[in-house]
Chains A and B, each alone.
Chain A
Amino acid sequence: EAGVVQSPRYKIIEKKQPVAFWCNPISGHNTLYWYLQNLGQGPELLIRYENEEAVDDSQLPKDRFSAERLKGVDSTLKIQPAELGDSAVYLCASSRTGRETQYFGPGTRLLVL
């Protein structure tokens, strides 16, 4: 069974530029998560989807961050415009349902210059 796929693995951009991250969850997993991980910290939830519905986006900075999960499968997380403080690892995870084990992708490491 293929794991959670994320791309790109690394991204370097200048501040004020837009950036997008893509995630393909494990087949059959209805729940998809986007997490932010700062250096020396644990993952922090940005948004959670149940199929195509965002059921928890309370921690998503909506002035610059947006996300979508079309057709309840792949998901895209976008930042526009990026700020220096957005430099971090962005992790995508999926699970069969909300209460089951989450499987993480390798993450996208973003550096904003």
Chain B
Amino acid sequence: DQQVKQNSPSLSVQEGRISILNCDYTNSMFDYFLWYKKYPAEGPTFLISISSIKDKNEDGRFTVFLNKSAKHLSLHIVPSQPGDSAVYFCAASDMSSYDKVIFGPGTSLSVIP
């Protein structure tokens, strides 16, 4: 049973436009959500996070939106740059599971120059 879903395996966006990566979760106990970015042959690197008490968190070009009622979050990248081309993992955790982080399958983003 996949608790964190990323239904788009891949996404292509023109440089300068907005990239929107989506993530859905099933466990209503999740209270903390993260996005990680991964380049080939490297480990994932932390990008941005959001607590369940917020509905938006912004860091430069990256904004994460959380819709708890829909169990949905999204990552917006504006403007998209070729260096953003990577695999993006959505992840979630809850304190009742001693903060075990569950990762989604990832979305591969290609930003076309």
Q: Which residues of A contact B (CB under 8 A)?
A: 4, 40-45, 48, 55-56, 91, 93, 98-99, 101-107
Contacts and interface: CB of A to CB of B under 8 A. Distances in A.
A2 to B, nearest CB: 14
Contacts of A40: 9, 105-106
Contact of A4 (B32, B43, B95): B43
A91 B101 contact: no
A99 B95 CA distance: 9
A45 B101 contact: yes
Q: In which size bucket is the chain B interface?
A: 20 to 34
A18 to B, nearest CB: 24
A40 B103 CA distance: 12
Contacts of B17: none
14 contacts: A42-B4, A42-B89, A42-B91, A42-B104, A42-B106, A45-B100, A55-B98, A93-B43, A98-B98, A99-B95, A104-B43, A105-B43, A106-B41, A106-B42
Nearest to A31: B99
Given A56-B98, A98-B98, A98-B99, A42 B105 contact: yes
Interface string B48-60: 0100000000000
A49 to B, nearest CB: 13
A56 B102 CA distance: 14
Contacts of B49: 101
**B42, B45, B89, B101: most-surrounded residue (chain A CB, <10 A):** B101
Nearest to B87: A42
Given A42-B89, A42-B91, A42-B104, A91 B99 contact: no
Given A4-B43, A40-B106, A41-B106, 13 more contacts: A42-B91, A42-B105, A42-B106, A43-B89, A44-B103, A45-B100, A98-B98, A101-B46, A105-B43, A106-B41, A106-B42, A106-B43, A107-B43
Nearest to B38: A104
A55 B98 CA distance: 9
Contacts of A45: 100-101
